[in-house]
Amino acid sequence: MPIVTTRDGVEIFYKDWGEGRPVVFIHGWPLNGDAWQDQLKAVADAGFRGIAHDRRGHGRSTPVWDGYDFDTFADDLDDLLTRLDLRDVTLVAHSMGGGELARYIGRHGTDRVRSVVLLSAITPLMLQGPDNPEGVPQSVFDDIKKGILAERSQFWKDTAVGFFSANREGNKVTQGNKDAFWYMAMEETIQGGVACVDAFAATDFHEDLRRFDVPTLVVHGDDDQIVPVDATGRKTAKLVPGAELKVYEGGSHGIALVPGDKERFGKDLLEFLKR
């Protein structure tokens, strides 16, 4: 299997499809690189090199006990880009992966980066507070951790509904979407599942976003029931100089997977890559 070994000995699995300018996809929680298969094929078919890794503790990467924080995730990403000697890269990140991308730029800069796409990303801050009233209350994150610890298989089945907005009339979510979500979630370690909640709930990415100095596309659904657009996508677009914001009407958190939205995102992504 294609593996990059990090500075602390963790094996990071990745897919590497096509040839051309590199596009690196960073998955959300609790998924893995398989979530990007449609987009990997699309960019490879269009003459780019698509790469998607499994975060530590997720998918086929080492099921470690610790290291579930954004400084570590960002350094893992740096190890991947450095070991593969990737340059002029477009980074595409979903959900929690948006925090990984932001912290990577905050810690390592943009020397290797051409442009950035943030999809349904958690930046700049998820947790509700006096300065972030649009955010998510701490009680929601506490309930997520309780659900994982109580009976994670059923919890993931239940969570898939809101993840894809399958509870909305006229939605196009398939049973396959929900099954794929469950399968990927079950490949994440239970320790990683719980620890990542604390990480993506409370990590502040304001300063990381202010270091962005490359073209940035922000895509978010206005029916995102996991990462509210008013707390994240709209604020991110204001913080990043020159960022372009696209809000998909009725779009769920799982835009890149749901029929209809994934085709629209694929078109927007390829147009952005060809600029």
d(CA 123, CA 147): 24
* Average pLDDT value for residue range 145-167: 98
d(CA 180, CA 186): 10
Q: Describe the strand order of the beta sheet including 89-94 as a list of residue ranges.
A: 3-5, 11-17, 49-53, 22-26, 89-94, 113-119, 216-221, 244-248
Catalytic center residues: 95, 224, 253
pLDDT in the model for residue 195: 98
What are the C-alpha distances in Å from 230 to residues 85, 133, 182, 188, 248?
Answer: 37, 10, 27, 29, 13
Whether residue 134 has pLDDT greater than 90: yes
* Average pLDDT value for residue range 122-145: 97
Whether residue 230 has pLDDT greater than 90: yes
Tokens encoding 265: 């995102």
Cis peptide before 130 (omega within 30 of 0): no
Burial class (CB in 10 A: 0-12, 13-18, 19+), 95: buried
Q: Provide the mean pLDDT of the chain.
A: 98
Whether residue 43 has pLDDT greater than 90: yes
Contact 174, 252 (CB under 8 A): no
Tokens encoding 84: 């593969």
Whether residue 1 has pLDDT greater than 90: no
| Chain segment 64-119, per-residue pLDDT in tens | 999 999 999 999 999 999 999 999 999 999 999 999 999 999 999 999 999 999 99
Domains of the chain with CATH codes: 3-273 (3.40.50.1820)
Which residue, among 67, 106, 112, 119, has the nearest Cα to 90 in the 3D structure?
Answer: 112
